[in-house]
Amino acid sequence: MASDYDEVRPEVKTSQERSLEDLQTADAPDARSVVTELEESDAFDEGLTPGGEIVSEEVIVQVIPQGRDEFTCSSCFLVRLRSQLAHESDGHSYCIECEG
């Protein structure tokens, strides 16, 4: 981007016969292209933000609150109801499905 302007300016100085109108029309396309690129990059950043929120939601879903009447099976690592507890040893609990 900067190199484009650097190329234009020496031309402007050497060819001072050009009118102001000619210079403005010559600069206009470059300025527009720069603005368009900036807007596109902004939109890209905004598009990435919702993706980050979705990831955090997945983390929240994975953290399942364990109730008093629940336990986490040491074999299948699923949160089971106490009524599904089949075996317990050394602090490890196993559900009916894993023991059965």
Binding residues for Zn ion, rule: CB under 5 A, are 73, 75-76, 95, 98
- 25 versus 75: smaller Cβ distance to Zn ion: 75
CB of 94 to Zn ion, least distance (A): 6
Q: Encoding tokens for residue 43?
A: 């939109």
- 51 versus 100: smaller Cβ distance to Zn ion: 100
- 24 versus 75: smaller Cβ distance to Zn ion: 75
* 80 neighbors 95 (Cβ within 8 angstroms): yes
Report, in this order, helix, strand and coil percent for the chain, each rounded to 5. 65, 15, 20
Residue 91's Cβ-side half-sphere holds a number of Cα atoms within 13 Å equal to: 0
CB of 40 to Zn ion, least distance (A): 51
CB of 72 to Zn ion, least distance (A): 9
